[in-house]
Chain A
């Protein structure tokens, strides 16, 4: 097979590869212009903590957009739930773990409420969640009216957004390196290579087409290298943060659900053709409840991460977060028309947007310029997306 043929066969993957390349370009650009500050372990750690609450929302938003809806209420809902968490621990003296469970349950119920309006009352999601945007904004102000910003002093709660996973005690060598992070990184590379090879063998045994051997090896090498570099950089500082661990878990769980389970398949079927899904016995209403319920759950998680990161609940917490999440999803290749979009893409989208903000902050660029640059990246990504999709047809 010639290189040209391989490129042609991989055409539907080009936009995905394009995004990885764009991300790489952004990293290289900021690394050079900040003289290496951008890729310093400390900055990467900050970057991950500062993006985690947006990335978590973007994962939920991806599925909402896949089933042709939108959720504008998630920003203030996250802020409101963060305030409730703070009040619960500080004024109701509820311990941290019951508080977290309570907030997650509350978020899920709020999401199911949105689903009820959309699926049962037939209100367009844009309007239903715009009402949510107003309502949760009011609820947040009401909750924080008497106190103003609520300082959270629970150490475990605050660790989620700020601290790092513990390490095994010093064993004489590799001192200064976070060994648990290193082990996890090696484990991840092993798991990745193992699953790719297994998958390839299985595909071959069914006589389906696979990537040519050298391309496959190159892909394995490059992705393993990326994991190794990230692991080494993080391990050289303080290791993985709790926020990163939570984010990785969310990504793994949601990737699994969307690609391997029946529910995941049905979500994409509903997004692609709701009438066809219904005719084939897939309940569109049920899927709408599942997707908005999951959005609510992730919104609660996002609110917890945000309040934890700030160590407080503020009166304007969550403002604009919904748009960051939506932008991340679109940059990550989610199609407005529905039915198309990967969890991994949205995470990459969130990473791209967070890296831009972070890099421009390091360079001291004016905030007005930052908005314009982000606008151009968002528009550019979607234009690239639309054009490659057109070319593939």
Chain B
């Protein structure tokens, strides 16, 4: 199909199958994510998008299929393994500890230590605070102090902290599950700016969202899933209205020509 050699994608998932008891959640899904690309991922409820992202972040182990990171085959055993390879997930409920400050949340589970005495690693608090502040500045996140407890932040600020945490360790791929759900309009535009900022700084991003206008405004490419299959994978070129109409048609199954187009999946 391709005549010129393309650079190796940062993530490539091939023919991923995942079953839950008798339910086939993923029936052979392919996914490609290029360096510095923002990929939108949409689908109706139970289309398999969250399952696919959990496979990519190491939370689920697929029955079949392979995952390549920068062209190398990997077998994730758990989320920490995926994270070590540079894949970070921002969960919908953000997975923040509200009783701790911003610095503690950014470094949660990955605290910097000055010395180790058996199980008692002594934290390098000043280093972590400084790094957290630097990170917020770099991502242009406007929060007065990294010493603020997360419970004192607004919804948009919390989302920003969760995204900043995903960026803290030079990750290659950031997966966001509904980052704009339950946010005010002003906060949504800030989060979308943040996604653009991540892209500008070289990260590759996958966004799951029900809000098609958000996907439209930040994504380079869109992938639609339905009933555990990929039903569309295309660059975003059209106007927002055409885009919305077409995407909805694929989401609800009014159009289903992906398999025929590429003839990769039988039937």
A79 interface residue (CB < 8 Å to B): no
Give per-residue flags for A227-268: 1 if the beta carbon is below 8 A from chain B beta carbons, else 0.
000000000000000000000000000000100111101101
**Which candidate, A57-65, A184-192, A271-279, is the interface stretch facing chain B?**
A271-279
Decide: A282 and B121 in contact? CB cutoff 8 A.
no
A368 interface residue (CB < 8 Å to B): no
Q: How far is the CA of A97 from the CA of B109 in the complex (A)?
A: 39
Interface of A is mostly: helix
A273 contact from B96, B110, B129, Cβ within 8 A: B96
Q: Which residue of B lies closest to A202 (CB)?
A: B126
B95 interface residue (CB < 8 Å to A): yes
| Residues of A close to B96: CB separation below 8 A | 273, 276
Q: Which residue of A lies closest to B146 (CB)?
A: A208
A281 interface residue (CB < 8 Å to B): yes
B97 contact from A202, A209, A263, A277, Cβ within 8 A: A277
Q: How far is the CB of B243 from chain A (nearest CB, A)?
A: 33
A265 contact from B80, B111, B145, Cβ within 8 A: B111
Decide: A280 and B126 in contact? CB cutoff 8 A.
no
| Residues of A close to B133: CB separation below 8 A | 206
| Residues of A close to B95: CB separation below 8 A | 273, 275-276, 279-280
| Residues of A close to B79: CB separation below 8 A | 279, 281
Give per-residue flags for A201-237: 1 if the beta carbon is below 8 A from chain B beta carbons, else 0.
0110010110000000000000000000000000000
| Residues of A close to B94: CB separation below 8 A | 276
Q: How far is the CA of A393 from the CA of B151 in the complex (A)?
A: 8
| Residues of B close to A265: CB separation below 8 A | 100, 104, 111, 123
Q: How far is the CA of A272 from the CA of B98 in the complex (A)?
A: 6
B99 interface residue (CB < 8 Å to A): yes
Q: How far is the CA of A279 from the CA of B93 in the complex (A)?
A: 11
Decide: B121 and A261 in contact? CB cutoff 8 A.
yes
Decide: B80 and A268 in contact? CB cutoff 8 A.
no
Give per-residue flags for A276-313: 1 if the beta carbon is below 8 A from chain B beta carbons, else 0.
11011110000000000000000000000000000000
Across chains A and B, the number of contacting residue pairs, with CB separation under 8 Å, is 83
B152 interface residue (CB < 8 Å to A): yes
| Residues of A close to B20: CB separation below 8 A | none
Decide: A269 and B129 in contact? CB cutoff 8 A.
no
Q: How far is the CA of A393 from the CA of B150 in the complex (A)?
A: 11
Q: How far is the CB of B86 from chain A (nearest CB, A)?
A: 15
| Residues of B close to A281: CB separation below 8 A | 79-80, 83, 109-110
Q: Which residue of A lies closest to B104 (CB)?
A: A265
Q: How far is the CA of A8 from the CA of B197 in the complex (A)?
A: 34
Q: How far is the CA of A276 from the CA of B109 in the complex (A)?
A: 10
A339 interface residue (CB < 8 Å to B): yes
Q: How far is the CA of A263 from the CA of B93 in the complex (A)?
A: 24
Q: Which B residues, 80 to 97, have Cβ-Cβ distances below 8 Å to chain A?
A: 80, 83, 91, 93-97
| Residues of B close to A208: CB separation below 8 A | 129, 145, 147
A340 interface residue (CB < 8 Å to B): yes
Q: How far is the CB of A391 from chain B (nearest CB, A)?
A: 12
Q: How far is the CB of B108 from chain A (nearest CB, A)?
A: 4
B113 interface residue (CB < 8 Å to A): yes
Decide: B108 and A261 in contact? CB cutoff 8 A.
no
| Residues of A close to B120: CB separation below 8 A | 257, 261-263
Decide: A269 and B108 in contact? CB cutoff 8 A.
yes
B259 interface residue (CB < 8 Å to A): no
Q: How far is the CB of A154 from chain B (nearest CB, A)?
A: 32
B119 interface residue (CB < 8 Å to A): yes
Q: Which A residues, 22 to 70, have Cβ-Cβ distances below 8 Å to chain B?
A: none
Decide: B122 and A261 in contact? CB cutoff 8 A.
yes
Q: Which residue of A lies closest to B111 (CB)?
A: A262
Q: Which residue of A lies closest to B114 (CB)?
A: A260
Q: How far is the CA of A280 from the CA of B100 in the complex (A)?
A: 14
Contact of A209 with B145 at beta-carbon distance under 8 Å, contacts A260-B122, A262-B120 already known: yes
Best-buried of A12, A208, A393 by chain B (most CB within 10 Å)? A208
Decide: A339 and B129 in contact? CB cutoff 8 A.
no
Q: How far is the CA of A392 from the CA of B80 in the complex (A)?
A: 35
Decide: A263 and B119 in contact? CB cutoff 8 A.
yes
| Residues of A close to B145: CB separation below 8 A | 208-209
Decide: A269 and B121 in contact? CB cutoff 8 A.
no
Q: How far is the CB of B144 from chain A (nearest CB, A)?
A: 9
Decide: B108 and A276 in contact? CB cutoff 8 A.
yes
Best-buried of B97, B98, B119, B122 by chain A (most CB within 10 Å)? B97
B130 interface residue (CB < 8 Å to A): yes
Contact of A268 with B122 at beta-carbon distance under 8 Å, contacts A208-B145, A273-B95, A277-B109 already known: no
| Residues of A close to B91: CB separation below 8 A | 279
Q: Which B residues, 145 to 165, have Cβ-Cβ distances below 8 Å to chain A?
A: 145, 147, 149, 151-152
| Residues of A close to B98: CB separation below 8 A | 272-273, 339
B100 contact from A257, A268, A275, A393, Cβ within 8 A: A268
Q: How far is the CA of A393 from the CA of B111 in the complex (A)?
A: 27
Q: Which residues from chain B sit less than 8 Å from chain A, CB to CB?
A: 79-80, 83, 91, 93-100, 104, 108-111, 113, 119-123, 125-126, 129-130, 133, 145, 147, 149, 151-152
Q: A273-B97, A393-B151 given; name 7 further pairs at CB < 8 Å.
A: A12-B149, A263-B119, A263-B120, A265-B104, A265-B123, A266-B109, A280-B95
A-B pairs with beta carbons under 8 Å apart, 15 shown: A209-B145, A261-B121, A262-B122, A266-B109, A268-B100, A269-B97, A272-B97, A272-B100, A273-B96, A276-B108, A280-B108, A281-B109, A281-B110, A282-B108, A282-B109
Ordered nearest first, which 10 A-B pairs have the shortest CB separation? A280-B109, A272-B97, A272-B99, A339-B99, A276-B95, A262-B121, A281-B109, A280-B108, A273-B97, A279-B95
